[in-house]
Amino acid sequence: MSDQGTYIKRPNRPLQIYAMVFLFVLYLPILFIPMFSFNDSIYVRFPLQGFTFQWYGELWNRQPVWNALWNSVKVGAVVAVISTILGVVAARAITRYRMPGKSALVTFIMMPLVIPGIIFGVALLVLMSRMGVPLSLYTVTLGHLIVCLPFAVATLLPRFEGFDPSMEEASADLGENGWWTFWRVTFPMVMPGVVASLLLTFTISFDEFIMAFFLTGTDPTLPMYIWGQLRFPQEFPSVLALSSLILFVSFILVFVAQWIGRLGLDKDT
């Protein structure tokens, strides 16, 4: 690492500045949301009018916000648990067994990552209405499962790949059956991936809009509630306050998830 890499290692000033500006611009837009949420004016504009917690106080006393929050948490928790379990099972199958048509299966699972969400939304809407299933939080949950599964699998796959199968063989040789081998050897090894997947899928479901837009019945999720409020300019400040809280929680969850999910994975980077 001494001589040979030097010209690559030489710091590149313009590029460094570009990177700083890039990160700044990446974060700037979402920083305006919390900034204006403390602004003492119902208009979202400069100059700032003074500091206030008024909009947060207003949120606290609003029953529909609490309902929507509870709906989102319920859906998010169910989606996180189911998609992570399915992700564990699928990742295990993909990494451990030789299956003809495996790559086709994986492509199928990953499809929702690239196909426009609106198409899944309307397709599920059509299915539900043809089967006479009323739209509810259950239909939203199904929609979110489709969106979250690829992320669960993508988070868990590297964990199962980095897993040495001889550990399981050793456990089997020492007399454990398949069930206990899974819980005492496999599961602890993939645990960080499981935690990361739970946090990520919860956040994705919690923030998801387009599926909920087509599949929500009478109970709105939090993003649907916000969408409804966006029509009223006088509601902007409280929407900003609510958005700031959501952003704050999402950032923390995702940061923890990313950190845990990558622990011990790419030591070289």
The half-sphere exposure of 260 on its side-chain side, counting CA atoms within 13 A, is: 19
Q: Kindly state whether residue 76 participates in binding another protein, applying the rule CB under 8 A.
A: no
Shortest Cβ 73–another protein spacing (Å): 15
Q: Kindly state whether residue 243 participates in binding another protein, applying the rule CB under 8 A.
A: yes
Q: Kindly state whether residue 43 participates in binding another protein, applying the rule CB under 8 A.
A: yes
Q: Kindly state whether residue 115 participates in binding another protein, applying the rule CB under 8 A.
A: yes
Cross-strand bridge partners of residue 51: 39
Alpha-carbon dihedral 130, 109, 74, 78, rounded to 10 degrees = 110
Among 50, 177, 179, 266, binds another protein (CB under 8 A): 266
88, 151 contact by CB (below 8 A): no
Cross-strand bridge partners of residue 39: 51
Among 68, 92, 168, 205, binds another protein (CB under 8 A): 92
Q: How far is CA 93 from CA 60, 96, 105, 191, in A?
A: 46, 5, 11, 17
Shortest Cβ 251–another protein spacing (Å): 6
Among 57, 64, 165, 217, binds another protein (CB under 8 A): 165
Q: Kindly state whether residue 182 participates in binding another protein, applying the rule CB under 8 A.
A: no
Question: What letter would DSSP give residue 3?
Answer: S
Shortest Cβ 58–another protein spacing (Å): 18
Tell me the backbone φ, ψ of residue 39, rounded to 5 degrees.
-85, 135
Closest CA to 55 of 76, 87, 33, 78: 33
Rounded distance between C-alpha atoms, residue 160 and residue 187, angstroms: 10
Shortest Cβ 182–another protein spacing (Å): 11
Q: Kindly state whether residue 196 participates in binding another protein, applying the rule CB under 8 A.
A: no
Shortest Cβ 63–another protein spacing (Å): 22
Tell me the backbone φ, ψ of residue 264, rounded to 5 degrees.
70, 0
Closest CA to 226 of 238, 210, 217: 238
Among 102, 170, 188, 232, binds another protein (CB under 8 A): 102
| Piece in contact with another protein (CB under 8 A), picked from 57-65, 73-81, 140-148, 185-193 | 140-148
Shortest Cβ 117–another protein spacing (Å): 7
| Piece in contact with another protein (CB under 8 A), picked from 51-59, 73-81, 180-188, 206-214 | 206-214
Among 135, 136, 138, 158, binds another protein (CB under 8 A): 158
Alpha-carbon dihedral 230, 234, 235, 241, rounded to 10 degrees = 110
